[in-house]
Amino acid sequence: GRDLTVLGIETSCDETAAAVVRGPGHPQILSDVIRSQIDEHTDFGGVVPEIAARAHIAVLDRIVAEAMQEADVGFDDIDAVAATAGPGLIGGVIVGLMTAKAIAMAAGKPLVAVNHLEGHALTARLTDGLDFPYLLLLVSGGHSQFLLVTGVGAYERLGTTIDDAVGEAFDKTAKLLGLPYPGGPAVERMARAGDPDRFAMPRPLLDRPGLDMSFAGLKTALRTQAQKLEPVDEQTVADLCAGFQRAVAEVLAARTRTALTLFRDRFPDAPPVIVVAGGVAANAEIRAALTAAATDAGARFVAPPARLCTDNAAMIAWAGIEHLAQGPVDDMAVSPRPRWPL
Ligand code: KG4
Ligand code: ZN
């Protein structure tokens, strides 16, 4: 089919993002603008939904204008507008989806309502040209799940966290130890100077079959250890971070091995591929553990560049292109959805 140029908008968490992408043949990211709200939320130790929504309103029109300018296109040149319609913080989703509807209506272009998780799920096709089927491990602040991706719109959730998301566990651990938000990078930095074996950390749910995961117990174990040692010195914080990170990496690697076995059973003729996405994918120890798990299983390991692993609008524009490539889409009647399982 014909190549399409799509404007994507992402506002479901604490990034205000707009991008213009062309595809599906030889996909091209013409622009990819992201404005992070970390500064607005850092004093609160986490994302405050009301503040997030207001910050999206304050900058989204400028971010869209920047994305259009950088791509050197006008609204007449685009084929459609794609926006995250959920899941996410509802205030932000409303801002993005309604802005997209207004642009689509004014420009007389179709609107594609994209599931944010689908954006993450299809990114590896934009960055690495992957064919279906493949496995996806999505590990972010809001989600931790294994997905089997067999086609556009064909996603099967194989397992998920039964409590905290991995990124959330990193963020809570950081808060507990007095480290800054976002917790992931802070914990990783401390862990470098730490001894992962000083404190015994649990490997939650690993004694059970299947692909579900649990991370809340880890945080509790860490709190118990920290309380016993009050006041904790710098080395103890480093050791706790290292022990926590090692446990998370081992749990994710073990589950990845199981997921790859399942993939082989389901698709004996397809080359096994595991893709990792989400902010936690930036973690070097976790990446190394997942790479090893994939290599052991004779599978290919794909990690899109960090900028496209974390929240961005290029993945939303791309998901829009993938939908449009299957046929006409008119999502003007879609409502914002705080919860929207794939
Ligand atoms: O994908 P993302 O940017 O946003 C969503 O949650 O959708 O992921 C952010 C999460 C935060 O919880 C953050 O602490 C975590 O990813 N994160 C990390 C690292 N960098 C970001 N976790 C562990 N290690 C890191 N280096
Ligand atoms: Zn995300």
What confidence tens digit (pLDDT) does each residue in 68-85 have? 999 999 999 999 999 999
Query: Taking the chain, what is the end-to-end CA distance rounded to the nearest angstrom?
Result: 26
Report, as an integer, the average pLDDT of 252-276: 97
Count CA atoms closer than 13 A to 299's CA, side-chain side.
32
Known binding residue 93? Answer is no
Quick one: tokens of 43?
């004093």
CA distance to 15, 141, 310, 324, per residue, from 100 (Å)? 16, 25, 21, 16
Q: What is the pLDDT of residues 50-69, one digit of tens each?
A: 999 999 999 999 999 999 99
Tell me if residue 305 falls in helix, strand or coil. Answer: coil
Looking at the predicted structure, is the pLDDT value of residue 1 above 80?
no
Q: Which residues contact 16 (CB under 8 A, 6 or more apart)?
A: 10, 34, 35, 37, 55, 56, 59, 60, 63
* Ligand 1 atom closest to residue 309's alpha carbon, by position in its atom list: 1
In this prediction, residue 231 carries a pLDDT of: 86
How do strand 144-151 and strand 134-139 relate by DSSP bridges? antiparallel
The pLDDT assigned to 56 comes to 98
Q: What is the pLDDT of residue 296?
A: 96
pLDDT at 128: 97
Long-range contacts of 180-183, Cβ-Cβ distance < 8 Å, separation of 24 or more: 180/42, 181/38, 181/41, 181/42, 181/44, 181/45, 181/46, 182/38, 182/141, 182/279
pLDDT confidence bin for 197, thresholds 50/70/90: very high
Residues 6+ apart with CB under 8 A from 231: none
Q: Which of 276, 274, 277 is nearest to 257 (CA)?
A: 274
- Confidence (pTM): 0.94
Task: Check whether 32 is labelled as a binding-site residue.
Answer: no
Q: Is the dihedral of CA 326, 331, 334, 336 positive or negative?
A: positive
Q: Domains in the chain, ordered, with CATH? A: 4-123+310-325 (3.30.420.40), 131-307 (3.30.420.40)
pLDDT tens-place string over residues 238-263? 999 999 999 999 999 999 999 999 99
Confidence of residue 43 (pLDDT cuts 50, 70, 90): confident
Indicate the pLDDT class of residue 183, thresholds 50, 70 and 90: very high
Identify which has the larger pLDDT, 47 or 317. Answer: 317
Name, in order, each residue with C-beta under 8 angstroms of 43's C-beta and a sequence gap of 6 or more.
Answer: none
For 277-313, what is each residue's pLDDT tens digit?
999 999 999 999 999 999 999 999 999 999 999 999 9
Would the CB of 142 count as within 6 Å of ligand 1?
yes
Q: What is the pLDDT of residue 126?
A: 98
- Measured from the Cβ of residue 150, the count of other Cβ atoms closer than 10 Å reads 15
Quote the ligand 2 centre to 226 CA distance (angstroms).
Answer: 31
List the one residue out of 89, 20, 13 whose CA is nearest residue 310.
13
Q: What is the mean pLDDT of residues 182-195?
A: 97
* Nearest atom (ligand 1) to Cα of 182: 14
CB 322 less than 6 A from any atom of ligand 1: no
Ligand 2 is an ion; its neighbours by CB within 5 Å are 140, 311
Residue ranges with strand state E in the chain: 4-10, 15-23, 28-36, 80-86, 111-115, 134-139, 144-151, 154-160, 273-277, 300-302
Ligand nearest to the CA of 164: 1
C-alpha torsion sign, points 288, 290, 293, 297: negative
- Per residue in 94-130, pLDDT tens? 999 999 999 999 999 999 999 999 999 999 999 999 9
- 335 annotated as ligand-binding: no
Q: How confident is the model at residue 93 (pLDDT cuts 50, 70, 90)?
A: very high
Report the C-alpha gap between 33 and 68 in whole angstroms. Answer: 10
Q: Is the ipTM of this complex over 0.95?
A: yes
Angle at Cα 47 formed by Cα 101 and Cα 219, nearest 5°?
135
The best mutation among 280, 286, 316 to test binding of ligand 1, ranked by most ligand atoms within 8 Å of the C-beta, falls on 280
Mean pLDDT of 35-43: 91
pLDDT attached to residue 46: 84
Residue 230: what pLDDT? 86
Q: Hey, which residues does 16 pair with through a beta bridge?
A: 35
Q: Which residue has the tokens 């968490």?
A: 13
What strand order describes the sheet that includes 134-139?
154-160, 144-151, 134-139, 273-277, 300-302
170 lines ligand 1 (CB under 6 A): yes
Which has more confidence, 38 or 244?
A: 244
